[in-house]
Amino acid sequence: MMRPTRRKIWTGGVAAVLALCSPTAAAQAAGPVPGGPGGDKVPAYVGAPAVPRPIAGDPVPANPHMAAPGHAAMHADSYASDTYPFLGPLGRDPQVLSDAKAYGLPGLCSTVNHARSTGLLVAQCTRASTFTLRLIDPVTLEDLAVHELPPRPSTVTAVTGLDFDKIMSDTSGGAYFYLDSQDRAVLADSAFHVRRFAHVKKNGRWSFQVTDDWDLGAHVPHSCPTWRKPKPQGECDPITSVQPDWKGLIWWVTRQGRIGTLDPDTGRVEVIRLDGEEIQNSFAASRDGVSIVSNHALYQLKADARGRPEILWRRTYDRGTGRKSGQLDQGSGTTPTFLDGEYVAITDNAEPRMNVQVHRADDGGLVCRVPVFEDGASATDNSLIGFGRSLVVENNSGYANFLKLPAGGSSVGGMSRVDVTEDGCRTVWTSKERSPSTVAKASVAAGLVYAYTKEPREDRVDAWYLTAIDFHTGRTVYKVLTGTGKYFDNNWAPINLGPDGTAYIGVVGGLVAVRDGSRTP
């Protein structure tokens, strides 16, 4: 049996109470993520190395205003395909490395993008009270530069109201940032600014430099809670995501249903609002428009001659009767996903089973609506994987956040592949793997789906695995243990693949990397 090689040794135990509001780290390595009990009770490796079998289909086209597909954003590209054109780890002599990213733990890295021009990782890392943009060595995981971002108002609300769900269900603050065509990080922060950051090296030291700064405070209500004034009288509407369309306008959305554009050349801002609707997730863009899903409907939009968002079509879906376990909001938990620019797909929130829905991108016509998983136990708050005519959906039912997941517990589990056919859609396979909350990814070159899994255990050991699933058959190929304990829970963070075949997973304790020790059998 192969066993992973660990180049840093896990030490220490999981604290009884996590230091949610401790200070941020300096620009250096903070040490490995501490492991919990039971590491000697679980296998370090299960299965066998994969043999690459590429997925058929046309490559995801590059948005000219974003980094290349696989390098650009949390969902990999402008289509939000969650696929990568390069190989992921194949499970050959796997090595596991981690870095805590903060001396006071936890230090979850929500999104990790790979800058092609420098070969470095650009990551947004989140703590309860502090947000940082980090430049990370992809091999050692050590910080090369750290830039502090404004804290989120939800932290104040959570602490003063003793309701930490306010933090766990807040997607604002910069996690949905992207790298542009010059590898500059573009994000909307909690101070209602859209900023563009270049990373530069001078006198042997790396740093972030703000190259552009646009204040959206005049266009978005920003009477937000602060430590001095925890209960302001006005409205606070955090910006959750930014992304460019194919003409270069920077689109942005807010939690309370505002949709705006920013012209980076002139600074002109245009805004519309979806009355009575919320936007929890990110969005996707193709050559023909931008796809956004609210907690009521799926939209296709484009900018008019002035740059103002214009709704091309709106299609409601079954949003159910309430927020399900495994979701951050009542409604679709997915970022829309384009398939070849011809279709756009989401999930609904129907009861007793949610459905994968596929619409025509040009007119919103419903192509199919396919129920997935079991009655009373189906929900997702993660984007679909989409490539060619295939979609992969993950079941998050039963997971809320890392604080509420009991020791040895897991989600209901399940992952399914759904294909668009000439007659509608069909379910190709369903895996029983339990991936509680990760944004799963696929390597087109390897033909593998990567999930972050955890099986329930009566001995209360929390064992977390990077798991590779055959895209073609749904068979589990291999599993690599990343660690045990609460600090290895990813708490909704994604898997990101690097062009060298490394898989990066943001976990509550920081950042984990899994890579092959050898590319040869």
Q: Are 358 and 367 in contact (CB under 8 A)?
A: yes
pLDDT at 53: 98
Report which secondary-structure segment, H or E, holds 289: strand 289-293
156: phi then psi, degrees, rounded to nearest 5: -60, -45
pLDDT at 172: 76
Q: Are 284 and 78 in contact (CB under 8 A)?
A: yes
Q: Are 12 and 31 in contact (CB under 8 A)?
A: no
pLDDT at 383: 95
Place of tokens 């066993």: 3
Pairing state between β 185-188 and 193-202: antiparallel
For residue range 364-414, list pLDDT tens digits in order. 999 999 999 999 999 999 999 999 999 999 999 999 989 899 999 999 999
pLDDT at 10: 31
- Say whether 168 sits in a helix, a strand or coil: helix
For residue range 317-372, list pLDDT tens digits in order. 999 999 888 788 899 999 999 999 999 999 999 999 999 999 999 999 999 999 99
pLDDT at 129: 66
pTM (whole model) above 0.75: yes
Q: Which positions of the chain have pLDDT values less than 50?
A: 1-28, 520-521
For residue range 189-246, list pLDDT tens digits in order. 999 999 999 999 999 999 999 999 999 999 999 888 788 888 888 889 999 999 999 9
Instruction: Put the strands of the sheet holding 424-431 in their side by side order.
Output: 385-387, 390-394, 415-421, 424-431
Closest CA to 492 of 412, 417, 403, 378: 403
Place of tokens 């993520």: 33
Report which secondary-structure segment, H or E, holds 160: helix 153-161
The CATH fold assigned to 5-10+31-516 is Methylamine Dehydrogenase; Chain H (2.130.10)
pLDDT at 262: 98
